[in-house]
Structures are given as C-alpha cells and as structure tokens.
Amino acid sequence: MPAIALQQLFIGGARVDATGVDTFDTVNPANGEVLATVQSASRQDVDAAVASAQAGQAVWAGFTAMQRSRVLRRAVDILRARNDELADLETQDTGKPRSETRAVDIVTGADVLEYYAGLATAIEGLQVPLRESSFVYTRREPLGVVAGIGAWNYPIQIALW
C-alpha cells in the first residue's frame, strides 16, 4: 500500500481527477516501497493545464514588479520553513542522501527563487530619444507559459529554476 494516498492532478489551483484511468507508482529507490500512486495526465488534461497556465499568466503579467517579487519571496519563506519536510520527501523519491537534500536541494531551489524575486524589481526598459519631440521605449514584461522536462534526480530544483 502506498505511503501517500492516490495523487490527483493539480490544475487551475486545485486537485482534480484525471480524465483517464491510467496511473503510475512512484517508488523509493532505496527500498522499492511504493510512495504514491499518481494519476496520469491525458492529452485533454494537459490541454486544460496549459489553458489554466495561460489564464494565470495574464494575471501574473498584470502584477507590478513589486507584487511579483513579494509572491516569489513568500514562496522562498515557505520553502525554507519546510526545508526538512521537503528534503525528506525528495530523499524518498530520488534516493539521494538526506544530508544532500537538506543542505542543497531545497536550499538552492529557494536561493534561485530569491534571486528572481530580487531581479523582478530590477528589470528595466530603455528610453531612446529619436528627436526633440519623440522617443521610443522598451518595456520588459513576463513573456508567457513554458513547459520543461527535467531530470529525475533534481525534481524540486529544476522546477524552481
């Protein structure tokens, strides 16, 4: 029996059931114990997740740089407060030594978010005078939704990068 109950998908800020019936087990490589059974996302589920992310992106892009920075800093605070708990889960999931996940994985993931939180308010555009009565300017703003496939042995770090 899995140590953690059946894991649903997380779409639109909520746990939701997958549209299909396929699942897979996550296994502790140290002892072969099934940690959790996870619902597999179908193409329809992925499309729903992308649509949700695009809607969320519109909200995120509407935030000021200071608001985005505050959200990221709050995430940093949560990661640091729950470092040991998250590191233990990372150890069970990847088989990495607990000493590494507690001292490196969560800590450096939080450091990356902290860097981006500081960067959010420092990003500037340019103003270029064309002549006395006109100018052009550039404005930097969040670009959009991206997806990535990461290595199995650094799941939280790669997600935070």
CATH number, residue 74: 3.40.605.10
Domain boundary among 44, 62, 80: 62
Give the pLDDT confidence of 28-63 residue by residue, as tens digits. 999 999 999 999 999 999 999 999 999 999 999 899
CB 123 within 8 A of CB 65: yes
Give the pLDDT confidence of 103-160 residue by residue, as tens digits. 999 999 999 999 999 999 988 888 999 999 999 999 887 777 777 788 777 888 888 8
**CA–CA separation, 62 and 56 (whole Å):** 10
pLDDT bracket for residue 1 (50, 70, 90): low
**CA–CA separation, 53 and 161 (whole Å):** 17
Residues in the chain: 161
pTM, two decimals, is 0.83
Number of domains in the chain: 2
Pairing relationship of beta strands 4-7 and 134-137 according to DSSP bridges: unpaired
Nearest-CA neighbor of 160 among 130, 103, 116, 118? 116
Is 113 in the same domain as 43?
no
Instruction: State which residues form the domain around 138.
Output: 63-161
Domain boundary among 41, 62, 83: 62
Is 147 in the same domain as 80?
yes
Is 67 in the same domain as 54?
no
